[in-house]
């Protein structure tokens, strides 16, 4: 978790609310969660109160004990798009060292990591993937036009999009420079 910013407070608040609501939803006491996760009850009390800066490892243990994904714990509770998280999960001593969880998708078996480059004017069109598949696109250079069932989404450097890929979609470069993007296919 981030050590020194206003964002730290919001992520800690999300973790606090999510751990408490998930634990009570399954009827689990703090003591039972402590036993199941291996995290001390004292630490859980502090986390639920929003008072404790918690490690990623501790969050993984709590998520596993609650039967949820790590991303569920740090995501804003009122987030409308569960695939879009955009939360700072870790920061180092140097201000440029950080890890931001951008998005999440449920996977059945496999995730493929791709690096794509499209020259100006290039287009790649795809038929629908199997039911349950999804894609996560992150633009590293240029501008990508992502077309999903005819609807265009223009993604700039640093932007991303998560979508179920059981529909027709295409990648197109409408710009004057090559576009580079990372593509995760979640199967």
Q: Phi and psi dihedrals of 151, rounded to 5?
A: -85, 130
- Domains in the chain, number: 2
Q: Which domain holds residue 75?
A: 6-103
Evaluate whether 104 touches 82 at the Cβ level (below 8 Å): yes
Residues 12 and 66 in one domain: yes
* C-alpha to C-alpha distance for 15 and 75, rounded to whole angstroms: 8
Residues 64 and 139 in one domain: no
Residues 117 and 84 in one domain: no
* C-alpha to C-alpha distance for 187 and 180, rounded to whole angstroms: 22
Whether residue 1 is contained in a domain is answered as no
Residues 86 and 139 in one domain: no
Residue 1: its pLDDT value, please? 43
Residues 115 and 89 in one domain: no
Residue 136: its pLDDT value, please? 94
Residues 20 and 96 in one domain: yes
Residues 150 and 177 in one domain: yes
Q: Using CA of residue 150, residue 151, residue 154, residue 160, what is the dihedral sign?
A: negative
Here the CATH number for the domain that contains residue 47 is 1.10.260.40
Closest CA to 171 of 134, 104, 125, 136: 125
Closest CA to 181 of 120, 130, 114: 114
Mutual angle of helices 6-25 and 41-48, in 10-degree steps: 120
User: How many helices (H) and strands (E) would you count in the chain?
Assistant: 5, 10
* C-alpha to C-alpha distance for 174 and 177, rounded to whole angstroms: 9
* Residue 51 three-state SS: coil
Here the CATH number for the domain that contains residue 139 is 2.60.120.10
| pTM of the predicted protein model | 0.62
Which of 81, 103, 125 delimits the end of a domain? Answer: 103
Question: Tens-of-pLDDT digits for all 187 residues of the chain?
Answer: 434 444 455 778 888 999 999 999 999 999 999 999 999 999 999 999 988 778 777 887 898 899 988 778 888 777 667 677 787 776 667 777 777 778 777 777 788 888 999 999 999 989 888 888 899 999 999 999 999 999 999 999 999 999 999 999 999 999 999 999 999 988 8
């Amino acid at each position: 978790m981030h050590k020194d910013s206003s964002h730290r407070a919001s992520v800690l608040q999300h973790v606090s609310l999510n751990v408490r609501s998930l634990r009570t939803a399954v009827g689990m006491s703090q003591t039972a969660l402590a036993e199941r996760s291996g995290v001390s009850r004292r630490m859980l009390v502090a986390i639920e109160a929003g008072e404790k800066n918690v490690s990623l490892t501790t969050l993984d243990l709590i998520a596993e004990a609650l039967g949820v994904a790590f991303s569920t714990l740090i995501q804003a509770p009122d987030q409308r798009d569960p695939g879009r998280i955009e939360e700072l999960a870790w920061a180092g001593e140097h201000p440029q060292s950080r890890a931001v969880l951008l998005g999440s998708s449920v996977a059945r078996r496999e995730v493929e990591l791709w690096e794509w480059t499209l020259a100006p004017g290039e287009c790649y069109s795809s038929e629908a993937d199997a039911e349950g598949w999804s894609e996560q696109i992150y633009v590293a250079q240029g501008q990508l036009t992502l077309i999903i069932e005819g609807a265009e989404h223009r993604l700039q450097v640093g932007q991303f999009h998560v979508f179920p890929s059981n529909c027709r979609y295409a990648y197109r470069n409408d710009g004057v420079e090559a576009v580079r993007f990372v593509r995760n296919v979640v199967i």
